[in-house]
Amino acid sequence: MGDRKSAGAYETVIVETVQSICTVTMNRPQAYNACSNQLTADLAAAMENADRDETVKVIILTGAGKAFNAGQDLAELKQRYDGGETPNLGIDLRERYNPIIRRMCRMDKAIIAAVNGVAAGAGCSLALACDFRIASEQAVFIEAFIHVGVAPDAGSTYFLPRMIGHARAMEMCCTGRKVDAPEALRMGLVNLVVEADRLMDEARALAEDLAARPARALAWTKQLLRQSFSHSLDQQLEAEAAIQEVASRTADHLEAVNAFVEKRPPRFTGR
């Protein structure tokens, strides 16, 4: 059944690994899984542990209760300000949020966001940082930063225009309006919209499909697609050639070629 020890190792996330699929559930349902200091610390540790765990091939990120993640916990933030702390969200971003986003993007393993409800502010950013997004029909995406007098952060200004274009990204960020699941699908913000009671089944089905594929090829694909945003065509062509030079010598590539010729399913080992 996998490693369940993590379920009790954190205060605000639940982690369960079953057959190479690690599910990380943000677990502050009473606060719509808003990002308290404890939640971001727990989430950072959970992602680091899943990244380092060689038995984990795919990660699913979701939320407990009605929400995926409502963004920064404003009640906790107000307590800090009322206690005499000078507002400085830049420190929070550099120390709490940005390390999580960087790890999610740089790790070799695919991350699937199973968006079960509202994903607002930094919670929306967390969903955007994943490699795949499956949304419940009840999911809502809100770039809510404008409502509290700040600019989008935690990677939203990087991911969003690349997914839906500059004009739509400007609209979402400058109005802070709600984007429901069907519109998110039309925009290209999510890969799939499903009925609420099928969300985790669909996420696990995709995770199982990815886990059965050649792990190194998946990692290289993620790397190439991410870096393509900052590469010229010539740089990207060379990056592809360099990776294919290595990929063509892997056991999984040779196995796939042999399996195709022999008309049988390939047996990938990750080597």
Instruction: Supply the DSSP string of 78-146, one letter for each residue.
Output: HHHHHTTPPP-HHHHIIIIIHHHHHHHHHSSSEEEEEE-SEEETHHHHHHHHSSEEEEETT-EEE-GGG
Name the phi and psi angles at 66, rounded to 5. -90, -15
* Beta-ladder partners of 15: 24
* Averaged pLDDT, 265-271: 88
**Amino acid letter, 190:** V
Q: Is the predicted pLDDT of residue 71 greater than 80, yes or no?
A: yes
Contact of 134 with 81, CB cutoff 8 Å: no
Cβ-based neighbours of 239, under 8 Å, separated by 6 or more? 224, 227, 231
Cβ-based neighbours of 201, under 8 Å, separated by 6 or more? none
* Beta-ladder partners of 26: 13, 63
The four Cα atoms 23, 111, 267, 241 give a dihedral, to 10 degrees, of -160
Q: Is the predicted pLDDT of residue 6 greater than 80, yes or no?
A: no
Q: How far apart are CA 94 and CA 58, in angstroms?
A: 26
**Among the listed residues 7, 108, 12, the one whose alpha carbon sits nearest the alpha carbon of residue 69:** 12
Which of the listed CATH numbers 3.90.226.10, 3.40.50.150, 3.30.499.10, 3.30.2180.10 matches domain 5-211? 3.90.226.10
pLDDT at residue 233, as a whole number? 95
pLDDT at residue 8, as a whole number? 57
Q: Is the predicted pLDDT of residue 182 greater than 80, yes or no?
A: yes
- Residue 23's pLDDT band (boundaries 50, 70, 90)? very high
* Averaged pLDDT, 109-115: 98
- The structural architecture, per CATH, of the domain 215-261 is Orthogonal Bundle (1.10)
- Residue 4's pLDDT band (boundaries 50, 70, 90)? very low
Structural domain boundaries of the chain?
5-211, 215-261
Q: Is the predicted pLDDT of residue 2 greater than 50, yes or no?
A: no
For 218-256, what is each residue's pLDDT tens digit?
A: 999 999 999 999 999 999 999 999 999 999 999 999 999
pTM of the model: 0.93
- Residue 5's pLDDT band (boundaries 50, 70, 90)? very low
